[in-house]
Structure 1
Amino acid sequence: MSGLDRSALLGTGLVVLYTLMISSADAITKFIANGYAAPQLFAFSGAIVVALSWGCARLKRAPQSLRTRCPRAMALRSGLTVVGSVAFFYAFRELPLAEVFVFIGMMPIFAGLFSGLMLGEFLRPAAWAALAAGFVGVLCLFPEGLAAVTTGHVIALFACLCGTFSMLLARYIGRHEDNALAQVFYPNAALSGVMALALPFVYRPMPLADLGWVVAYAGFLFVARWLLVVSLRHLAAYAVTPLMNLQFVWMVLLGAAFFAEIPAFNILLGVAIVIASGVVLVWDQMQPAPLDGSRARLVRRPKIAR
Structure 2
Amino acid sequence: MAAETGEPKAEAAPDPRRLAGIGLMCATVAFFACLDASAKALAGFGVDPLLTTFMRYAVSVALISLVLNPVTTPHVARTRRPLLQVLRSLLLFGSTAFNFVALRHLQLAETLSIQFAVPLAVALLAGPLLGEWSSRERLAAIGFGFLGVLVIVQPGVGGVQPAVLYSLGNMLCYALYIITTRKLAAYDSTATTMFYSGLAGLALMSPLLPWIWTSPATPLAWALLVGVGLFGTLGHWLLVLAHARAPANVLAPFIYTQLLWSVLLGYAAFGDVPRRTTLMGAAIVVASGLYLLARERRARKARPAA
Corresponding residue number in structure 2 for 1:53: 64
Q: Is 1:278 aligned to residue 278 of structure 2?
A: no
* SS at 1:68 equivalent: coil
Q: Name whichever of 20-29 and 65-74 sits farther off.
A: 65-74
Q: Is 1:290 aligned to residue 289 of structure 2?
A: no
1:59-100, Cα deviation, whole Å (9 max, x unpaired): 993243454333121111112222222222211112222222
Aligned CA distance change for structure 1 residues 165 and 75 (closer, same or farther; 3 Å): same
Separation in structure 1 between the aligned mates of residue 21 and residue 192 of structure 2, nearest angstrom:
19
Opposite residue 290 of structure 1, the aligned amino acid is: A
Corresponding residue number in structure 2 for 1:197: 207
Pairwise CA distance, 1:273:
2.1
Q: Name whichever of 222-231 and 89-98 sits farther off.
A: 222-231
Pairwise CA distance, 1:140:
2.5
Aligned CA distance change for structure 1 residues 60 and 270 (closer, same or farther; 3 Å): farther
Separation in structure 1 between the aligned mates of residue 251 and residue 135 of structure 2, nearest angstrom:
16
Pairwise CA distance, 1:270:
2.1
Aligned CA distance change for structure 1 residues 42 and 184 (closer, same or farther; 3 Å): farther
Aligned CA distance change for structure 1 residues 112 and 58 (closer, same or farther; 3 Å): closer
Q: Name whichever of 188-197 and 117-126 sits farther off.
A: 117-126
Given the alignment, which residue of 149, 156, 165 partners 1:154? 165
Pairwise CA distance, 1:114:
0.6
Corresponding residue number in structure 2 for 1:208: 219
Given the two structures, how large is their TM-score scaled by the length of structure 1?
A: 0.78
8 Å Cα contact 1:184-1:226 kept in structure 2: no
Given the alignment, which residue of 111, 119, 137 partners 1:108? 119
Separation in structure 1 between the aligned mates of residue 305 and residue 184 of structure 2, nearest angstrom:
24
Given the alignment, which residue of 30, 34, 43 partners 1:24? 34
Corresponding residue number in structure 2 for 1:126: 137
Separation in structure 1 between the aligned mates of residue 183 and residue 28 of structure 2, nearest angstrom:
19
Opposite residue 159 of structure 2, the aligned amino acid is: A
Pairwise CA distance, 1:115:
0.8
Q: Is 1:175 aligned to residue 203 of structure 2?
A: no
- In structure 1, the gaps of 5 or more residues are 3-7, 295-306
Opposite residue 172 of structure 1, the aligned amino acid is: K
Q: Name whichever of 242-251 and 29-38 sits farther off.
A: 242-251
Q: Is 1:269 aligned to residue 280 of structure 2?
A: yes
- In structure 2, the gaps of 5 or more residues are 1-10, 13-17
Corresponding residue number in structure 2 for 1:301: none
Separation in structure 2 between the aligned mates of residue 154 and residue 242 of structure 1, nearest angstrom:
26
Flag the structure with larger Rg: 2
8 Å Cα contact 1:28-1:217 kept in structure 2: yes
Corresponding residue number in structure 2 for 1:98: 109
8 Å Cα contact 1:46-1:192 kept in structure 2: yes
Counterparts of residues 67-78 of structure 1 (less than 5 Å): 67-78=78-89
8 Å Cα contact 1:19-1:247 kept in structure 2: yes
Pairwise CA distance, 1:281:
1.6
Aligned CA distance change for structure 1 residues 250 and 38 (closer, same or farther; 3 Å): same
* SS at 1:205 equivalent: coil
Aligned CA distance change for structure 1 residues 38 and 241 (closer, same or farther; 3 Å): farther
Pairwise CA distance, 1:17:
4.7
* SS at 1:290 equivalent: helix
* SS at 1:94 equivalent: coil
1:197-236, Cα deviation, whole Å (9 max, x unpaired): 111112222233322212221112113345667869x659
Pairwise CA distance, 1:58:
5.8
Separation in structure 2 between the aligned mates of residue 130 and residue 108 of structure 1, nearest angstrom:
11
Pairwise CA distance, 1:18:
3.8
Separation in structure 2 between the aligned mates of residue 23 and residue 177 of structure 1, nearest angstrom:
30
